[in-house]
Structure formats: structure tokens, C-alpha cells
Amino acid sequence: MDALSALGKLLPVVLAFGTGILFARRKLLPTEAAGYFTDFAFLFAIPCYLFGKIFLSDLGHLFNVRAISAYAASAALCVVLIGLSAGGSAKVRALRVMAAVQVNTAYFAVPVFIMLFGDAAPIFPILLLQVCLLSTVILTTLEFGGPGSTPRKLGRAIWASLNTPVVLACNLAIVLNLLAVPIPGPVLSALSFVGDAAAPVALFALGLYLGSAGLSIRGTTRTELALITFKCVAFPLITLVISHYLFNVTGDWLKYLVLIAAMPSPQNLFVFAHRYNTDVDLAASIVVKSSLLALLLLPAWVQWAS
């Protein structure tokens, strides 16, 4: 896929994302409306999409052990690099690791993959790896980095990260797929109908949220610049090198891994920062700016990975 083809496929992404920003800037919708669109996408549309796709998928092909191992090794190396180079408390280091290594799967990667490849199922194994491992480590660090931490409180935090509609829908689809449980065609068609709204609604909601958050390039600090550059440039490059040269990942899976790594920092970065009262302004700025930079760099990553 050359750059021109990539740009053509990304046009719907730009349209939905840009319209959200435009609506926010023109105040055509109130700021809180972003939350309603986000809830629809995260709680309903995306789970419907992923459930149907994974249920009908060949799980042996979807769970490519070599590819998943390559991504895990790349992420682990980046976690170590950021963890060692970042200063501050354990909570500060945890959030900076999250900013530089964790990716926005539900609101950015899923719609982008749907537009580029017509299928976002390859994201699922990485999503599980991210939620079940990286998020758990980050939450553990944040919980025990503050006062009054208890095992029960930690358990609730971890359970909350795993007990999300996206993860539950994916796991249910895997179980039913493995057990060969028949699902009526009309049910799958209904899930597909709702799931088709996932990509445009998620991107519109993200644009609406980011457009209302505001953006100041001039006020970007060195820390922000370093983390955003690492997330959008260094992490996908490291993933490309490790996946291709150490794990011999080629073809579509190499392209998938590089593009997933090139996704922006997750919206949960701001949620976690606000909840644990750590670097809130930094987190909000990184979510906004990494999203815009990731969108600008996507055509180049698509062409290079191809």
C-alpha cells in the first residue's frame, strides 16, 4: 500500500475525527456530549463489533504466538527504557510509562484498522496483552505508590481494568468460538449492524473530546515532547526492528504490530492521572497531541510497514 492509497483509506478517519473537532470548536455540541458518544462506542458499539469478528475468526490465525511475543518484547524493552530514564516518584514513572508505551486501542486503533483493512480483529490479542499485563502493572504501581493502599483496594482496581465491556465481549466470543456454540444469523447481523457504527462514532467522539480540550503547541514542555516523540516514533521503530530482525515477523502481522505501536497514548492516561492526582495537565496534553501526531504520521507508517 503506497502513501496515496493510505491517504485515501484514511480519508474517512480524518473526516470523522475532524468533524468532531469542528463541532467542538464551533460549539455545535456541548462539551459533555463527547462523553455520550464515547460511552456508546466503548460500552456498546465496539464490543458488538469485536464479538462478531472474533466469534467468526480463525483463532489459530488470530493468536499468532510469534507476533504477540515480538510485540510483548518490544513493549517490555520500552517500559524499561522509560522507567529508567523518567525521574520522580513511582506514580510519576508509572504514568510516563503508560504515556509512552500503552496505546489507544478502543477509540483510535479499532476505527483506523477498520478503515485501512476492513477488520480490527488483529488488535484483540494486543488489547488483551495491554489490559491484562501492562495496565495491571501500572495500576499496581499507582495503588501502592499512594497512602492507605490495601490488597482489597488493589484487587478492585485490577478487576475494574479487566471487567470492561470490550474485554468481556472478546473473551465471551473466544469461549463460544472454541465451544462451537451456534449463534443465529439474525443475531450476528444485528451485532454487525451496531458494530458498523463503532469506527465513525469513536473517531467523532475522540475529535469532539480533543477539540474541546484545546491545544497549545507553543506551550509544549520538553517532557511532553520527549514522551510524545517516543510514543509516536521510537516505539513503532523499536517494534519494527525487534519484530522483523529478532522474531522474523513478516507480512501482514509486521504491518499490524508497527501500526498498533504507532497509535497514540490512551485516553485512560488522563483518567488515571486525575484519579491518582499525578501530572494531570501533562497527561491531558499528551493525549491530545499524541493523537494528532499519530494521525499525521499514519500514512508514512502504513507505507513503510508495507
**And the C-alpha cell for 158?**
485490577
CA distance 256 to 262: 10
SS (H, E, C) 179-246: CCCCCCHHHHHHHHHHHCCHHHHHHHHHHHHHHHHCCCCCCCCHHHHHHHHHHHHHHHHHHHHHHHHH
Identify the sign of the CA torsion 54, 57, 63, 66.
negative
pLDDT tens across the length of the chain (306 residues)? 555 666 676 788 788 888 988 998 888 988 788 788 888 887 898 889 889 988 988 887 778 899 999 999 999 999 999 999 988 888 899 999 999 999 988 778 888 888 888 888 888 888 888 877 787 788 777 776 555 556 666 676 667 666 778 778 888 988 999 999 999 999 999 999 998 888 888 888 878 877 776 666 667 788 999 999 999 999 999 999 999 999 999 988 999 999 999 999 987 787 778 777 788 778 878 988 898 899 889 888 877 765
CA distance 9 to 7: 5
* pLDDT computed for residue 146 by the predictor: 54
